[in-house]
Structure 1
Amino acid sequence: MPVSLAGAGLGLRRALLDALIEAPAGAFDFLECAPDNWIGVGGRLGDKLAELSSRHPLSCHGLSLSLGGPDPLDADFLRKTRDFLDRHHVALYSEHLSYCSADGHLYDLLPIPFTDEAVRHVAARIRDVQDALGRRIAIENVSYYAAPFQALSEIDFINAVLIEADCDLLLDVNNVFVNAINHGYDARAFIQAMPTARIASLHIAGHFDEADDLKIDTHGTSVKDDVWALLGFTYATHGVRPTLLERDFNIPPLAELLGEIERIRHLQRDAA
């Protein structure tokens, strides 16, 4: 059976495999990987993943289901994903509230129009995914730079999908901060409008300051002070949730990442 998540986790990247295996006990509370990048991987890498998942709770964050897309869901991929989640006793599976394919892969996570029709479309697909995986999933609020159409506000769109699909939320605090700057809304008001009971976990990451009014969600730098402050506000508003530090490139030595893990833990202790 899946184990529960708690505390502060770290993204499992291949460049960190050996360091994670050798890390002292208690250095992090859980790991998260993208099953899309690990399904079918065997040999030395597969053995290391199995070792880590046997020692640490594992969450999974999908990349390619394309929940908002027009193409049929990939039943074979869903079957393989379910097998992966079961084999590694994954505590939580999440995917992006976006799409990445339309008659072929688009190699990006693209925003869904904020409309009632899109709510019904994506919610039906999330329900199908939950049925196929035999588990409840969480959807992540994504960063975006241009919105195709907004009949609803982003807040109303996300809340409507959560209710219609009867799924949970992976609240990405950095994405809220980035979108708030880029689209001119109040990040704290957005956080407050998210439904506490639906929040399964949180993500936090670094971003690039292109300009005062343009932030790029890169996952390639340390977390900014304003985002740390927003994470603390999120805990104060909704209570402590398991929180994942994402770092996808410019990956520093593990010790530096563990310093950020400790900062998450410090904020969690303060909130508790």
Structure 2
Amino acid sequence: MHTSIASTRATAGLGLRRGLIKDLLAAPAGHFDFLEVAPENWIGIGGAHGAALSTLAERFALSCHGLSLSLGGPSPLDVEFLQEVRVFLDHHQVPLYSEHLSYCSDDGHLYDLLPLPFTEEAVHHVAARIRQAQDILGRRLAVENVSYYAAPQQDMDEVTFTNAVLREADCDLLLDVNNVYVNSINHGFDPLAFLAGIDASRVVAMHIAGHFDESDTLKIDTHGASVKPAVWTLLAEAYARFGAQPTLLERDFNFPAFSELVAELQTIRQLQSKEANRG
């Protein structure tokens, strides 16, 4: 029987991607601790993929990271979908469900994560929707800081906006360390100051991923490459600030040999161990 990702903070996980199923099924115990799934991609799935999910869920803890809830969007929340997610979370005993602090729909799905304006109005709007989602789910929700390339309106900085949402919604934060780095380069702020400003009591998990270097001043969040050295350094700083939280290595496409992903997971473990020993 698997253990919960919440039973110990220092855990490392991979996203359950269909291109990785063969490797994940063959992986020995110890390569990773948990698997993250997007519930909308797996609810009601049968056949070979459904069987693979069942097998993996028996061996490993699951974490859920949604793609389509559109917490910041203008359309009403999809209550029926949230009810289906609750059943999925309960069935698989999932301790963490997270979504993006953004929006992705307006009279139809936009297939992208679009940034919210950093305004008081947006804080109240998204916080109310997070509270509604938590009521339907019967559990706390974690929201993820997203990468963005143009901000609609900034009456406050991202840290102030994020903390305001977390406080008003009384929810948790999934800290995406790569997004902090990408945004710090693209928008010219100090990533360490960002980490220092976030309410530490809200951080319950982390993501780390690779990105594409368009130029020295433009980084594109892709999840299709290995993690950059500067992001590993920032992850170590995040552990120093928030503790060695459960950390997911995100890789969505352009998969390398599975051994390369395992090596990156080992880097996560080494940084977590270093932080634990330091503490």
Q: In which range does the TM-score fall when normalised by the shorter chain?
A: over 0.9
Letter in 1 for 2:166: L
4+ residue runs of structure 1 moved beyond 2 angstroms?
2-6
Instruction: Find the aligned partners of 1:44 and 1:224 in 2 and give their Cα distance.
Output: 35
Normalized against structure 2, the TM-score is what? 0.95
Question: 1:23-59 deviations in whole A, cap 9, x for unaligned?
Answer: 0111101110101111111111101101111111110
Instruction: Find the aligned partners of 2:272 and 2:152 in 1 and give their Cα distance.
Output: 37
Instruction: Find the aligned partners of 1:4 and 1:22 in 2 and give their Cα distance.
Output: 21
Aligned residue in 2 for 1:128: 132
Q: How far has the Cα of 1:4 moved from its partner?
A: 3.6
Letter in 1 for 2:4: V
Instruction: Find the aligned partners of 2:41 and 2:111 in 1 and give their Cα distance.
Output: 14
Instruction: Find the aligned partners of 1:30 and 1:60 in 2 and give their Cα distance.
Output: 10
Aligned residue in 1 for 2:4: 3
Q: How far has the Cα of 1:104 moved from its partner?
A: 1.1
Note if contact 1:50-1:88 (Cα within 8 Å) is conserved in structure 2: no
Task: Describe the SS at the equivalent of 1:121.
Answer: helix
Tell me, yes or no, if structure 1 residue 211 matches structure 2 residue 215: yes
Aligned pairs (5 A) from 1:34-113:
34-113=38-117
Tell me, yes or no, if structure 1 residue 196 matches structure 2 residue 197: no
Note if contact 1:94-1:138 (Cα within 8 Å) is conserved in structure 2: yes
Tell me, yes or no, if structure 1 residue 264 matches structure 2 residue 268: yes
Task: Describe the SS at the equivalent of 1:201.
Answer: strand
Normalized against structure 1, the TM-score is what? 0.98
Instruction: Find the aligned partners of 2:96 and 2:262 in 1 and give their Cα distance.
Output: 22
Cα RMSD after superposing both structures: 0.9
Letter in 2 for 1:203: H
> Where does structure 2 lack aligned partners over 5 or more consecutive residues?
none
Note if contact 2:240-2:275 (Cα within 8 Å) is conserved in structure 1: yes
Identical amino acids, percent of aligned pairs: 65
Q: How far has the Cα of 1:15 moved from its partner?
A: 1.0
Letter in 1 for 2:83: R
Note if contact 2:73-2:105 (Cα within 8 Å) is conserved in structure 1: yes
Q: How far has the Cα of 1:103 moved from its partner?
A: 1.1
Instruction: Find the aligned partners of 1:45 and 1:104 in 2 and give their Cα distance.
Output: 27
Instruction: Find the aligned partners of 2:17 and 2:256 in 1 and give their Cα distance.
Output: 12
Instruction: Find the aligned partners of 1:72 and 1:194 in 2 and give their Cα distance.
Output: 29
Aligned residue in 2 for 1:163: 167
Q: How far has the Cα of 1:253 moved from its partner?
A: 2.1
> Where does structure 1 lack aligned partners over 5 or more consecutive residues?
none
Aligned residue in 2 for 1:238: 242
Corresponding pairs, count: 271
Q: How far has the Cα of 1:214 moved from its partner?
A: 0.1
